Amino acid sequence: MRNYFDFTGRVAIVTGGSRGLGLAMSKALAEQGATVIIASRKLENCEAAAREIAERGGRAVAVGAHLGKWADIERLVDIAYRDFGKVDIVVNNAGMSPLAASSADTSEALFDKVVDVNFKGPFHMTALCGSRMAAGSGGSIINITSIGSIRPRPDYGPYAGAKAALNAITVAHAFEFAPKVRVNAILPGSFRTDIAKHWPAEKETKIDSAIRRYGEPEEIVSTVLYLASDASSFTTGALIRVDGGRP
């Protein structure tokens, strides 16, 4: 039988890949045979994640990079192509979602930081990798946005706006780098990650989704594998919700 998720010989970059959803994605891609480049701001966290994958028999390398800084992104992509000669899969997962009491209380520094990591960084990563993929043998780029991009709320307005912009550029890049490169987005809902530990205990009981609970990090993996694989060869410019059925 055909293995739809065989990534043997493929190289993947996962930004924000050292913890939470990103770590689950990194592990899953490595388990299916991909060499995974784990990138985040804290190199030591990336190294720990790479060791964990290696202990499971997978292949992973760590690169410290601030995904809101274009110079760091350029260095990351250069390392990937220097060491492996190609990139087949990019998962733009790095992000941050700080809350603010109001728009008036949102500082310029905080606004810029949110936009840099959630939109400017993925834009540049896709521009660099997408153009090289299009000139080569193609590839798949997956943007991790948020259900907040289509269900915005005042306390995370800049984050919702940045993720909505990422939705829009997903479609634009899908056309720009077609037909050899596919660009899609996943819109996660609330997941039980490190961030969830800081949420009020009663939040999960009040969640307004059909499944009525948080998602587990592993529950986003199959969607990532589908979009990264040849099984989704006719899927591009798609915005796929993985949110437990939010209204």
CATH number at residue 223: 3.40.50.720
Any domain includes 115? yes
The percent of residues above 90 in pLDDT, for the chain, comes to 89
The predicted-structure confidence for 10-20, as pLDDT tens digits, reads as follows: 999 999 999 99
Any domain includes 5? no
Any domain includes 164? yes
Q: What is the mean pLDDT of residues 93-122?
A: 95
| Residues 49/24, Cβ–Cβ less than 8 Å | no
Q: Does pLDDT of 120 surpass 90?
A: yes
The pLDDT of residue 194 is: 77
Any domain includes 4? no
Q: Does pLDDT of 202 surpass 90?
A: no
Any domain includes 68? yes
Any domain includes 247? no
Average pLDDT, the chain: 96
Any domain includes 83? yes
Any domain includes 3? no
Q: What is the mean pLDDT of residues 102-116?
A: 96
Q: Single out the residue of 72, 104, 181 nearest to residue 135, CA to CA.
A: 181
The percent of residues above 70 in pLDDT, for the chain, comes to 100
Please state the domain count of the chain.
1
The predicted-structure confidence for 40-86, as pLDDT tens digits, reads as follows: 999 999 999 999 999 999 999 999 999 999 999 999 999 999 999 99
For the annotated catalytic residues, the residue numbers are 159
| Residues 89/32, Cβ–Cβ less than 8 Å | no
Domain that holds residue 123: 11-242
Contacts (Cβ under 8 Å, ≥6 apart) of 52? 27
